[in-house]
Structure 1
Amino acid sequence: MQDQLKIALIQSDLVWENPKKNRKHLKEKMESISNVDLIVLPEMFSTGFTMNAKTVAETMDGKTVAWMKKQALKTNAAITGSMVITEDGKFYNRLLFVEPSGDIQIYDKRHTFTLAGEDKIYSIGNKKLIVDYKGWKLCPMVCYDLRFPVWARNTENYDVLLFVANWPKPRVFAWDTLLKARAIENMCYCVGVNRVGLDDEQNEYCGHSAAYDVLGNEITAFKPNREQIEIATLERNHINFYRNKLKFLSDKDSFTLV
Structure 2
Amino acid sequence: MSVEIALVQTSLAWEDPEANRLHFSRLLDPETGRADLIVLPEMFTTGFTMSPQNIPPGEEARSLDWMRETAARTRAAVTGSLVAREGGKYYNRLFFVEPGGAYETYDKRHTFTLAGEDQVYERGRTRKLIHFRGFTICPLICYDLRFPVWSRNTEDYDLLLYVANWPAPRIAAWDALLKARAIENMAYVAGVNRTGTDPNAHRYPGHSAVFDALGTRLAYSEQEEVLHVTLSLEHLSETRKSLRFLQDQDRFTLES
TM-score w.r.t. length of structure 1: 0.97
Residue equivalent to 1:212: 211
How big is the shift at 1:138? 0.2
Deviations 1:146-170 (A, max 9, x none): 0000000001100000000000000
How big is the shift at 1:192? 0.1
How big is the shift at 1:57? 5.6
Matched, 1:240 2:244: no
Q: Secondary structure at the match of 1:62?
A: helix
How big is the shift at 1:221? 3.5
Identity among equivalent positions (%) equals 51
Residue equivalent to 1:109: 108
Q: Secondary structure at the match of 2:72?
A: helix
**Amino acid of the residue matched to residue 247 of structure 1?**
R
Residue equivalent to 1:4: 2
Residue equivalent to 1:18: 16
Matched, 1:78 2:64: no
Residue equivalent to 1:253: 250
Q: What does 1:169-184 align with in structure 2 at a 5 Å threshold?
A: 169-184=168-183
How big is the shift at 1:58? 3.9
Q: Could you say if the C-alpha distance between residues 57 and 182 of structure 1 is closer, same or farther in structure 2, counting changes exceeding 3 Å?
A: farther
Residue equivalent to 2:48: 49
Q: Secondary structure at the match of 2:26?
A: helix
The answer on whether the counterparts of 2:17 and 2:59 sit within 8 Å (CA) in structure 1 is no
**Amino acid of the residue matched to residue 159 of structure 1?**
D
Q: Can you give the 5+ residue segments of structure 2 that lack an aligned partner in the other structure?
A: none
Length, aligned pairs only: 254
**Amino acid of the residue matched to residue 26 of structure 1?**
F
How big is the shift at 1:59? 5.6
Q: 2 CA distance for matches of 1:56 and 1:37?
A: 30
Q: 2 CA distance for matches of 1:241 and 1:62?
A: 42
219, 225, 228: which one aligns with 1:231: 228
The answer on whether the counterparts of 1:57 and 1:85 sit within 8 Å (CA) in structure 2 is no
Over aligned residues, Cα RMSD in angstroms? 1.1
Q: Could you say if the C-alpha distance between residues 241 and 210 of structure 1 is closer, same or farther in structure 2, counting changes exceeding 3 Å?
A: same
Deviations 1:13-48 (A, max 9, x none): 000000001000011111121321100000000000
The answer on whether the counterparts of 2:140 and 2:162 sit within 8 Å (CA) in structure 1 is yes
Q: Secondary structure at the match of 2:6?
A: strand
Q: 1 CA distance for matches of 2:124 and 2:57?
A: 17
The answer on whether the counterparts of 1:59 and 1:85 sit within 8 Å (CA) in structure 2 is no
Q: 2 CA distance for matches of 1:109 and 1:138?
A: 15
Matched, 1:27 2:20: no
The answer on whether the counterparts of 1:194 and 1:209 sit within 8 Å (CA) in structure 2 is yes
Q: Secondary structure at the match of 1:219?
A: strand
Deviations 1:64-107 (A, max 9, x none): 11100100011110000001001110000000000011111000
Q: What does 1:155-194 align with in structure 2 at a 5 Å threshold?
A: 155-194=154-193
The answer on whether the counterparts of 1:163 and 1:192 sit within 8 Å (CA) in structure 2 is yes
Q: Secondary structure at the match of 2:210?
A: strand
Deviations 1:122-175 (A, max 9, x none): 000011000001111000000000000000000110000000000000000000
